[in-house]
Amino acid sequence: MNDKTLFFCRTPLQAIIINKLLENISGNHHIIYRPNNNSQKHQHYFNKIKSDHKTFLVFEPLKFSHALSSIYDWFSLSRDVRMSKYNQLFIASIGDMVFSFFAERNSTARINLFDDGMFNLSKVEFNQWVESDSVNKKITRTLFLGEKPLVTHNRINHHYTIYPSELCWLNCHTTELKGLFKINNTLIASPKVKKKKLRIILGSAYFPTEIDRNMNRIEKRNIQHEAIINSDKFDVYIPHPSHPSKPKYIDELNQLFEEHPINLMIAEDLISAICRSGYEVIVYGFGSSTIANLSKDFKTIGIMLDEQMMSQYSILRKLGAKIIKLF
């Protein structure tokens, strides 16, 4: 068999999922990590991908054109990677322009979706994203042979999910990936010591997106968000990578965070590390994917700031999170 598989990665969470997929997918493959921002976390998680066949594209966006940035990244890849014929394509960020070039050039390949956070569980939000488009994107896809996101969507053959499979709605085969962040109790330090409870707040970042440009709602969310993260009710504050604030935590965690740097690790891994050190945690967040990702294995509470955020209510409850409404 000469099957060749391409994995396309944009975030640390996606890198963790790819490592899980690699446990059962052997053979000829290549992984492209195209980071979606300039966070140091990307290089850290790229280095942790368990493969020698991988390429990291440095985040160097052209301010005046996302389309030109995609073209630059495409030609930054080796000719062998660009022109190889792939039998399988794995993608989470289905609307990525560079991936669209691969999808169009490999029209008979099986496309497998894996999760980009809770985004994949919301049919409305997912379809809005797939259907959103711009003139620049259309022109770029026409000139450089990119596949339309809607066509890619219709080609999805298999969904590999980190959530309970019954929550998935795509009309394709579904496989649930388990144990990404679950704590093995045998690894917890000092088992004779009574666990101390820690209240952890995970920050968010609210700004306009292609599918939500309601500036009034975004401004109100930011005001409430700032008041909560700056309160004295939490032992640990882990900021969102896109938020300018600094992390906060009690002094006894200094050594733990020296060994597990907040600037390099995602919240899911940090919380797992805290629990392995013998603490019991309650994790608060603003209806984020991180809360969804942790809800199967940890005590989580989602904070809803407005009615629009309540669209996540049902999903978070099904995953095991409790909900607090602040409106």
Q: Kindly state whether residues 232 and 123 are assigned to the same domain.
A: no
Q: Which of 109, 142, 176 is the last residue of a domain?
A: 176
Q: What is the CATH number of the domain that holds 109?
A: 3.40.50
- Please count the residues of the chain: 327
Q: Kindly state whether residues 253 and 140 are assigned to the same domain.
A: no
Q: Kindly state whether residues 132 and 216 are assigned to the same domain.
A: no
Q: 206 is written with which tokens?
A: 């609210």
Q: Kindly state whether residues 80 and 124 are assigned to the same domain.
A: yes
Parent domain of 246: 185-325
pTM (2 d.p.):
0.91
Q: Kindly state whether residues 150 and 212 are assigned to the same domain.
A: no
Say if residues 4 and 87 touch (Cβ distance below 8 Å). yes
Q: Kindly state whether residues 163 and 16 are assigned to the same domain.
A: yes
Q: Kindly state whether residues 123 and 270 are assigned to the same domain.
A: no
Say if residues 18 and 7 touch (Cβ distance below 8 Å). yes
* Phi, psi of 325, rounded to the nearest 5 degrees: -100, 130
Q: Kindly state whether residues 127 and 252 are assigned to the same domain.
A: no
> CA-to-CA distance for 5 and 113, rounded, in angstroms?
13
β-bridge pairing 173-176 and 196-202: unpaired
Q: Given its phi and psi angles, is residue 269 left (phi above 0), alpha (psi -120 to 50 degrees) or beta?
A: alpha
Q: What is the DSSP track for 78-143?
A: -HHHHH---SEEEESSTT-HHHHHHHHHTTTSEEEEE-BTBGGG-HHHHHHHHH---HHHHHHHHH
Distances (CA, A) of 13 to 32, 48, 299, 327: 14, 12, 20, 31
Q: What is the DSSP track for 207-218?
A: --BTTB--HHHH
Q: 33 is written with which tokens?
A: 């990590």
Per-residue pLDDT of the chain (327 residues; tens, 9 = 90+): 578 999 999 999 999 999 999 998 878 999 999 999 899 999 999 999 999 999 999 998 876 678 889 999 999 999 999 999 999 999 999 889 999 999 999 999 999 999 988 888 888 888 888 888 888 899 999 999 999 999 999 999 999 999 999 999 999 999 999 988 877 654 444 554 457 999 999 999 887 665 566 788 889 999 999 999 999 999 999 999 888 899 999 999 999 999 999 999 999 999 999 999 999 999 999 978 999 999 988 999 999 999 988 888 889 999 999 999 998
Q: Which of 154, 176, 198 is the last residue of a domain?
A: 176
**CA 305, 306, 309: angle at the middle one, nearest 5?**
90
Collect all residues with Cβ–Cβ distance below 8 Å to 249 and sequence separation of at least 6.
Answer: 235, 236, 237, 257
- 304 three-class SS: strand
Q: Kindly state whether residues 155 and 209 are assigned to the same domain.
A: no
Q: Kindly state whether residues 146 and 276 are assigned to the same domain.
A: no
Q: Kindly state whether residues 171 and 202 are assigned to the same domain.
A: no
Structurally, the chain folds into a number of domains equal to: 2
Q: Kindly state whether residues 126 and 200 are assigned to the same domain.
A: no
Q: Which of 138, 154, 176 is the last residue of a domain?
A: 176
